[in-house]
Amino acid sequence: MIQSMNRIEVAALKDVFPQLLSFLHEQGVVHIEPLTEVPSGGRVARLHLSEEEEEEHGKLRSILEAVTALLDSTADQGDLERVRRLEATPTRELFLRFQELTEELGRRKARHEELLEERRLLPHWESLVDAFLSIQYAFARRPDWSMMGLILDRAREHDIDALRNEIARVTKGRMELSVATLDPTRLAALVFYEERFERDLERLIWGKGVDHLTLPRKYLGKPLDEVLTDISVRRREIPREIAEAEAAYRDLLTKSGEELVALRELARLRSKELSTRTAFVQSSYTVGLIGWVPQSAAAPLRRGLEELFGDRVFVSFRPPRPEEWATVPVALSNPSLARPFELLLLPMRRPRYGGLDPTILLALFFPIFFGIMVGDIGHGAVILLGGWAVGRWFPRVPGAVSSILMTMGGSAIAFGFLFGELFGDLGKGWLRPLLFDRTERMISYLWLALAIGVAHVLLGHLLGIIGALRLRKPRQATERAATMAAIFGGLLLLGAGVKLIPSGWFTPGLILMLAMVPVLLYAGGLVALLELVSTAGHILSYARLMALGVAGAMLAHVANTLGSTEGNVVLGILVALLLHLLHLVMSLFSPTIQALRLHYVEFFSKFYEPGGVPYAPFRR
């Protein structure tokens, strides 16, 4: 359900502004409406940050970015007590402490990364030097000169002279280039050049698409065999050095980690408070704010403001006007059983304020659709246990995932009893289907799927009528009602045609359908007629419930048959287990996608009005 919202308007004397901001932040219920326009020429202006505040904001942002990059995680909220203890500290002091903590940490991290890079490059340096050893080449030592290795395809051998000329042009002739064979397909080239041309040279080499390595200066002027010995010694030593550097970094990170997380949290809170200031307007003596709060939070907020600030703050609340609905933030409030399914609405944009929140219906139909397709006690039990395990052992996975998986598993078990399936046909003989065996009565299964489709699509249209009336769109409501009536007429026609109902219903069905054509044309034009046809397609689309169900049941049957035809019992069980595992993965993936698709495409298209602004309160 979409929570009812109230518009809040706050005006306060400037002397209580910081306390007011902290109070609103602490309460965490006001969704502040960003200022789009402030009337010019009046006494009211947008509140801007002072130079000092801008500087403070910059420092806070740098703390936030640097700590986030160092800790590689934004999920950890840190120790709230520690955050509270630090709250009284001025930002300048926080920044100094942050610099102190991160300087050494950054140095150790850089050292570790440098060593990792050296380890990556050592084999390349080795093969390059090795190539030049065979031609008894010696690295020259010249002050302010550097050395770069190039790796070229042998097929480009004829381009070397052109490359030499290009490098000579870029380095104004202050270069030397030597070429040797690296392996049968590649050549190695060494370029010595004056260091001041390094950037121009790199740009040239990068533009030519040639692999290149910059060799360490310590190797310059050394005999090649000594360089090779050095490299092989480094290759032996470097794993230990990497381990030591990593341990040193991790050690310091562990010691200062909690304090850094607290600093980051505080920086985040202060930065948010500062950026929120610009949403206020100001006059000479007052500041003002416009926002939205859930209706249920309005009274406690008013009481809190009155108790704390008395007549220094004025606050008013009112329900939104229909013309404001497009800008009202949307907060969802659903019963605890349905709440996890809000997760499945995330790929869609939020419903509009005044529209309908389909979470409860999603929580009801999604597991049913999944259950109809999987319909196996064994597979359902594994999914249920998997969902429980995710909730128990994977704290970083949102709890909603575990709840949804457990509901899906429970539904698959229930439909497993209805279809009499336990890991396919393993229960055959003693497990009787309560409804029917779907592998034998496929047509009944198809009718069940289509009947669910009719009910689901008609429910969608009914909700479409309600939604259109709530959003005051009478034509849209008429169109939906006419489509519903036409579908109903079509069903009578079809039912009488296939002798499911008395043939006397044929004519009323036809009349009803034909009568709805002018209504549809009036309410929605030709598009409405096309939508009627697409609605019929949407109902047929529910046949996928049967198609995937039959395919799944057959796959489970194949797994058992292949397992039982093996002469070796252990091998047979292994084959069956592997196939069931494969089936289980497919059962989890495909029916989930298809059940979601039936909601997003077939169901929501009848009533869902997306485009709501998510409710994002100013809170800690």
Partner 1 sequence: MELLALAFGAALAVGLTGIATGYAQARIGSAGVGAMSERPEMFTSAVILMAIPETVVILGFVVAVMIMLILPGG
Instruction: Give contact residues for partner 1 (rule: CB under 8 A).
Output: 346-347, 442-443, 446, 540-541, 543-544, 546-548, 550-551, 593-594, 596-597, 600-601
> Which value, in Å, is the radius of gyration of the alpha carbons in the chain?
35
The helix/strand/coil state of 178 is strand
Q: In whole angstroms, how close is the CB of 206 to partner 1 at the nearest point?
A: 22
Q: Identify which of residues 523 and 546 has a Cβ nearer to partner 1 in the complex.
A: 546
> How far, CA to CA in Å, does 191 sit from each of 29, 205, 343?
65, 11, 58
CB-wise, 17 or 600, nearer to partner 1? 600
Q: Secondary structure of 268-322 in the HEC alphabet?
A: HHHHHHHHHHCCCEECCCEEEEEEEEEHHHHHHHHHHHHHHHHHHEEEEEECCCH
Query: What are the residues whose beta carbons fall under 8 Å from the beta carbon of 567, sequence distance 6 or more?
Result: none
In the complex with partner 1, the residue whose CB is nearer, 189 or 446, is: 446
Nearer to partner 1, 471 or 551 (CB): 551
- Residue 482 vs 545, nearer CB to partner 1: 545
Distance of CA 266 to the CA centre of its chain: 26
Q: Identify which of residues 541 and 587 has a Cβ nearer to partner 1 in the complex.
A: 541
- Closest distance between partner 1 and the C-beta of residue 544, in Å? 4
Cβ proximity to partner 1, 317 vs 436, nearer residue: 436
Residue 359: CB minimum distance to partner 1, A: 17
Least gap, CB of 600 to partner 1 (angstroms): 6
* The 3-state secondary structure of 188-237, one letter per residue: EEEEEEEHHHHHHHHHHHHHHCCEEEECCHHHCCCCHHHHHHHHHHHHHH
Name the minimum Å distance from CB 546 to partner 1: 7
Extract long-range pairs of 271-276: CB within 8 Å, 24+ residues apart: 271/57, 271/60, 271/61, 271/64, 272/25, 272/618, 273/21, 273/22, 273/25, 274/49, 274/53, 274/56, 274/57, 274/60, 275/57, 276/21, 276/25, 276/32, 276/618
Query: Residue 610 Cβ, how far from partner 1 at the closest point, in Å?
Result: 13
Calpha distance 371→548 (Å, rounded): 11
Helix (H) or strand (E) holding 262: helix 224-277
Residue number, 143 or 347, with CB nearest to partner 1: 347
Pick between residue 354 and residue 453 the one whose CB is nearest to partner 1.
453
Instruction: Name residue 31's beta-bridge partners.
Output: 292
277 and 47 Cβ atoms separated by less than 8 Å = yes
Q: Name the minimum Å distance from CB 361 to partner 1.
A: 18
Cross-sheet strand order for the sheet of 145-153: 175-183, 186-194, 145-153, 211-214
Alpha-carbon distance 311 to 13, whole Å? 9
Give the distance, in angstroms, between the CA of residue 347 and the centroid of all CA atoms in the same chain: 9
Q: In the bound complex, what is the minimum distance in angstroms from residue 24's beta carbon to partner 1?
A: 30
Determine the 3-state secondary structure of 187 from DSSP: strand
Which residue matches tokens 């999920």? 75
Cα–Cα distance measured from residue 369 to residue 381, given in angstroms and rounded to the nearest whole number: 17
The least distance separating partner 1 from the CB of residue 498, rounded to whole angstroms, comes to 13
The contacts of residue 435 (CB under 8 Å, 6+ apart) are 418, 419
Cβ distance to partner 1 smaller for residue 180 or 551? 551
Nearest to 470 by CA among 294, 345, 365, 351: 351
581's tokens: 């595992």
* Of 201, 226, 223, 225, nearest in space to 214 by CA: 201
Query: Is the torsion defined by CA of 522, 523, 526, 528 positive or negative?
Result: negative
Which secondary-structure segment (H or E) carries 176? Answer: strand 175-183
CB of 543 to partner 1, least distance (A): 5
Q: How far is the CB of 542 from partner 1 (least distance, A)?
A: 10
Buried b (16+ CB within 10 A) or exposed e, 122-149: eeebbbbbbbbeeeeeebeeeeebbbbb
Q: Nearer Cβ to partner 1, position 59 or 544?
A: 544
Given a contact cutoff of 8 angstroms between Cβ atoms, the answer to whether 284 and 43 are in contact is: yes
* Cα three-residue angle 312-315-320, rounded to 5 degrees: 165
Residues 238 and 122 sit within 8 Å (Cβ to Cβ): yes
Closest contact distance (angstroms) between CB of 592 and partner 1 is 10
Minimum CB distance to partner 1, residue 405 (Å): 16
CB of 80 to partner 1, least distance (A): 29
In angstroms, give the least distance from the CB of 590 to partner 1.
Answer: 8
Q: Residue 4 or 68: which CB sits closer to partner 1?
A: 68
Nearer to partner 1, 110 or 601 (CB): 601
| Residue 389 vs 593, nearer CB to partner 1 | 593
Return the number of the residue (346 or 498) whose C-beta is nearest partner 1: 346
